Amino acid sequence: MLRNLVRFHNCLGHAFSPPTVCPRGQMFKLLSVKSYSIITERKKFYEDVSISHGEGGMFEINLDRRKLKTPGGKLFTAPNEALAIAVANEWDTQKDMLKFYSMHMTTLCNTALDNPTFRSKDQMITAALKYLETDTICYRVEEPPSLVELQNNEWDPVLNWIEDRYNVVIGSSTSILGPEIPQATMDTFRQHLGSYNFWSLTGLEYVITQLKSVVLAFALIDKHITVEQAVLLSRLEEEFQIGHWGNVEWAHDVDLYELRSRTAAGALFVHFSSESSTVKRKLMQD
């Protein structure tokens, strides 16, 4: 499954604030985070990408022996070799132009390192749980009958799985207000999310926002469903409408692959940031 995640992670993605490089022996003048947000591409300025051991067991990324830094000016470090390899792979596979919008693992690392919104774990958990109140697969239609049947057939098995897996009650509703989530369910999921470290939680929240679903994100991270399945289930009504009314084919394909890429990267980030043992470079090469 990790190989499939890596494959999708290398697809197109969305724009983000690119990191900077700190030249050896020089002070690098940092631009503001706001100014970075408009930069999506840049001419490639390095030849070799390498990984080195840093302080405290962290791993650093080097571009032609220059250390990578975050948009906030911090030294770019990864907590383990698996994540460092994933980031190095993003930089190593860039061609003549650096396409920052495709480098999701780098983005997520930057977010975890800089924490630009200064959020605590509790605040991140609260934000993630907000999606449970408006979870994609909990909102059902009353018509047409064919879509009602499709939602029941495709969404109910995942909903039943998570209720059994975590011994909770979620339910679904055709009301615009959605189902009323019991407090016991919220408490259970809050405790579960609290078991993740800050880095993993950063990735999990990212997956939740991409799928607009806590249920689908948990099912994906628990390897109950694949990236392809998670994305399809999150777009079920949209795909149904496209099947009936048609679509602009190339635009649909781009949107689909971009969402797969972002979702796969987030899932990889969760698993890699939870990885405590050293892995071989072959993992990313296979």
Is pLDDT above 90 for 41?
Answer: no
- Three-class SS state of 160: helix
pLDDT score of 4 = 47
The reported pLDDT for the residue numbered 264 is 97
Nearest Cα to Cα of residue 259 among 206, 214, 192, 219: 206
Mean pLDDT of 160-182: 94
Nearest Cα to 109, choosing from 268, 2, 259?
268
Q: What is the mean predicted confidence (pLDDT) over 28-51?
A: 64
Whether pLDDT at 128 is above 60 = yes
Q: Using omega within 30 degrees of 0 as the cis cutoff, is the peptide bond preceding 144 cis? A: yes
- Segment 171-175 shows an average pLDDT of 93
Kindly list the distances between the CA atom of residue 130 and the CA atoms of 69, 133, 134, 140, in Å, as whole numbers in the listed order: 32, 6, 7, 18
Q: How far apart are CA 227 and CA 221, in angstroms?
A: 9
pLDDT digits (tens, 9 = 90+) for 130-147: 999 899 999 999 999 999
User: Is pLDDT larger for residue 7 or for residue 157?
Assistant: 157
Question: Averaged over 15-19, what is the pLDDT?
Answer: 42
Specify the pLDDT at position 249: 62
Provide the pLDDT for residue 205. Answer: 97
Q: For the residues of 17-86, what is the DSSP string, one character each?
A: ---EEE-TTS---PPPHHHHTT--EEE---S-EEEEE-GGG-EEEEETTEEEE-TTSPBPEESSHHHHHH
Cβ contact 76:69 at 8 Å: yes
Q: Which pLDDT value is given to residue 248?
A: 59
Provide mean pLDDT across the span 73-94: 96
pLDDT of residue 283 exceeding 70, the answer is no
Q: What share of the chain is helix, strand, coil (3-state, %, to 5)?
A: 55, 10, 35
Query: Which residue has better confidence, 18 or 163?
Result: 163
Q: With pLDDT > 90 as the criterion, what percentage of the chain qualifies? A: 71
Q: How far apart are CA 201 and CA 274, in angstroms?
A: 10
Q: Are 61 and 91 in contact (CB under 8 A)?
A: yes
What is the predicted pLDDT for the residue at 30? 30
Could you tell me the CA-to-CA distances from 11 to 73, 147, 207, 220 in Å, in that order? Answer: 28, 30, 16, 19
How high is the pLDDT of residue 65? 84
pLDDT at 275: 63
- Are the beta carbons of 267 and 72 closer than 8 angstroms? no
Which of 29-38, 57-66, 87-96, 218-227 comes out lowest in average pLDDT?
29-38
Phi, psi of 85 (to 5 degrees): -65, -40
* 1 or 189, greater pLDDT: 189
pLDDT value, residue 52: 96
- Mean pLDDT value across the chain: 84
Helix, strand or coil, per DSSP, at residue 97: strand
The pLDDT > 70 percentage for the chain reads 79
Identify the pLDDT of residue 253.
75
Q: Collapsing DSSP states into helix, strand and coil, what is residue 173?
A: strand
Task: Dig out the tokens for 159 from the structure.
Answer: 């909903």
Predicted local distance difference test score (pLDDT) of residue 10 = 43
Exposure on the CB side of residue 210, measured as CA atoms within 13 A: 30
pLDDT at 46 over 50: yes
Which two structure tokens, joined as six digits, stand for 128? 């993630």
What gap in Å lies between CA 281 and CA 259, rounded to an integer? 26
Lowest mean pLDDT among 124-138, 177-191, 234-248: 234-248
Q: Where is pLDDT greater, at 52 or 35?
A: 52
